[in-house]
Amino acid sequence: MIGIVVVSHSPALAEAAVALALQMTGDTRPAIAIAAGAGEGVIGTDAVRVADAIDEVASPDGVLVFMDLGSAVLSTTMALEFRASTTEVRLSSAPFVEGIVAGVVLAAAGASLDEAEREASSAMTAKNAQPGSAAPAEAPATQAEVDVAVTAEATIVNDVGLHARPASVIVAKMAGFDAKVTIADADDPGRSASASSLLALMGLGLGKGTRLRISGTGADAAEAVEWLRAITADGYGE
């Protein structure tokens, strides 16, 4: 499991962001280290603290680092020269809060360093797809994918809709399937997202009463689509 390091000028900010992310992971949690502040009551960052944090959570799977402001990036870059561990370290360019949430949830689900970094970095794509922003164009499905797609429909019944916690449960479960699954608003197909993308699912803003069209391709598509249909009909366990 990859390790997560959070570098911030403010301990309170870092701790709050990590606490938010951990609410979505259940019992399985990745190793997380916070390197925040530059001394007792001093706002800032310290390269030595960052290096120690990296060494604390270093694993063969790598370490993903999230930083809040510009000088945090400088401190983290310097820290790479001070650390004792030799594991691969990636410095994420993701927005601070969204990146931490995505990185922690994906790490807990057993995602690779590449997968967690990619999901965290997609945070702005999900935000940009909100009403009033130009949504990025998605590649159309190939004819082969259309021909073998497994589909199902389900209506969201829980009061708060497809919010952060259900989205994290879905993403963690999808990691275990050999399938590419998409969730869409059946009455507004343009509102769709990969069931493997935490931030994209959260960005859809699907509320109670929304009728979902669930589509999947791949070896485990039937199992994945049925699991997702059933948990949606059950209110995501809430």
Question: 67, 96 in Cβ contact below 8 A?
Answer: yes
Question: 45, 7 in Cβ contact below 8 A?
Answer: yes
Token duo for residue 121: 């970095």
Q: Which SS3 state, helix, strand or coil, does residue 211 take?
A: strand
Tell whether 11 and 115 lie within a shared domain. yes
Question: Is residue 138 in some structural domain?
Answer: no
Question: What gap in Å lies between CA 15 and CA 224, rounded to an integer?
Answer: 34
- Tell me the pLDDT tens digit for each residue of 49-87: 999 999 999 999 999 999 998 889 999 999 999 999 999
Tell whether 152 and 44 lie within a shared domain. no
Question: Is residue 22 in some structural domain?
Answer: yes
CA 222 to chain centre: 24
Q: Identify the H or E element spanning 185.
A: strand 180-185
Q: What is the mean pLDDT of each run of 10 residues along the chain (238 residues)?
A: 96 95 86 91 91 97 94 94 96 93 88 88 66 48 58 94 86 89 93 88 89 95 96 90
pTM assigned to the model: 0.74
Tell whether 11 and 114 lie within a shared domain. yes
Say how many domains are in the chain.
Answer: 2
Tell whether 104 and 171 lie within a shared domain. no
**CATH code of 162's domain:** 3.30.1340.10
Tell whether 72 and 159 lie within a shared domain. no
Instruction: Please report, rounded to a whole number, the percentage of residues in the chain having pLDDT higher than 90.
Output: 61
- Tell me the pLDDT tens digit for each residue of 162-183: 987 888 889 888 988 999 999 9
Which residues make Cβ contacts (< 8 Å) with residue 156, sequence separation at least 6?
Answer: 162, 206, 207, 208, 209, 210, 212, 232
Tell whether 62 and 114 lie within a shared domain. yes
Output the pLDDT for position 136: 44
Question: Is residue 134 in some structural domain?
Answer: no
Question: What gap in Å lies between CA 166 and CA 185, rounded to an integer?
Answer: 16
Question: Is residue 137 in some structural domain?
Answer: no
Output the pLDDT for position 106: 87
For the four alpha carbons of 30, 17, 136 and 141, in that order, the dihedral sign comes to positive
**CATH code of 26's domain:** 3.40.50.510
Burial of 28 (0-12, 13-18, 19+ CB in 10 A): exposed
Residue 98 sits in which domain range?
A: 3-128
Tell whether 115 and 147 lie within a shared domain. no
Tell whether 155 and 120 lie within a shared domain. no
Tell whether 49 and 24 lie within a shared domain. yes
